[in-house]
Amino acid sequence: MAEVSAGKLFRRIHHLRCRERDLAAALTALPRQLASLQARHERAKKARAESADHIKHLQVTHRAKETAIKSHTGQVKKLSDQRDAASARDDFEALEREIAHARHQIATLEDEILVLLDEIDTANGKVPELEAAIVRAHTEATAFDTEMTQRKKDLEQSLTDVRRDLAERDLEVPREHVSVYNRIVAGRGPDALAPLDGLSCSACGTTQTGPDAGKVKRFAFVTCTECGCILYLSEKDEKELD
């Protein structure tokens, strides 16, 4: 194979290796994506259940306070009857204080009930949103699960095609560069190759020597003087040479 074609070949190989990495990552991510959607559904159900428990707790507290008000109201009536029947001034004043205390407790409980009712209304107002979140999360998880089989099949086919194409391109690497190419690729994968950015390696930013940059522009086999990447001319720069 003529050296003039090496740079173009490595650009194609870099594209294929990056594509292979992306497809493999997408395949690996499928189960995690499904698990994430299912976890979101479970969190939505948990939030709704916690909301229901919270509302139930507020309602129980509300009923307890209403019961307490009834008790204090009955106490006020009893104390009032005792006060009206009291003949001694000290007894009358003592009963007045007890009545005032009981009425203060009733007023406090009534204020607390108003706050509780507001909390219950607020919590109930959020229920439709929480239930909609459950439906939405379930729909998304179910749809992804249904589509995942075909998506997995498509990704696997694309990955097979890319690897076949990559194997064919690897066979085109000039024989004199095969050992270096294999060593760099084995250690760095897709990051083994990088386009030349002006006079610099786009992987590490190191400026290349004039002669090396010139070789890249002539599509020769060149490695970065700093990071060892196989350099090639970008498609844009290649067009500018035409």
* Full pLDDT tens readout for the chain, 242 residues: 334 356 789 999 999 999 999 999 999 999 999 999 999 999 999 999 999 999 999 999 999 999 999 999 999 999 999 999 988 999 999 999 999 999 999 999 999 999 999 999 999 999 999 999 999 999 999 999 999 999 999 999 999 999 999 999 999 998 999 999 999 999 999 999 999 988 999 999 999 999 998 998 888 899 999 999 999 988 877 777 65
CATH of domain 28-167: 1.10.287.1700
* 231, containing H or E segment: strand 230-233
DSSP-derived secondary structure for 156-201: HHHHHHHHHHHHHHHTTS-GGGHHHHHHHHHHHGGGGEEEEETTEE
Q: CATH 1.10.287.1700: which residues of the chain?
A: 28-167
Burial of 147 (0-12, 13-18, 19+ CB in 10 A): exposed
- In this predicted structure, what is the pLDDT of residue 239? 73
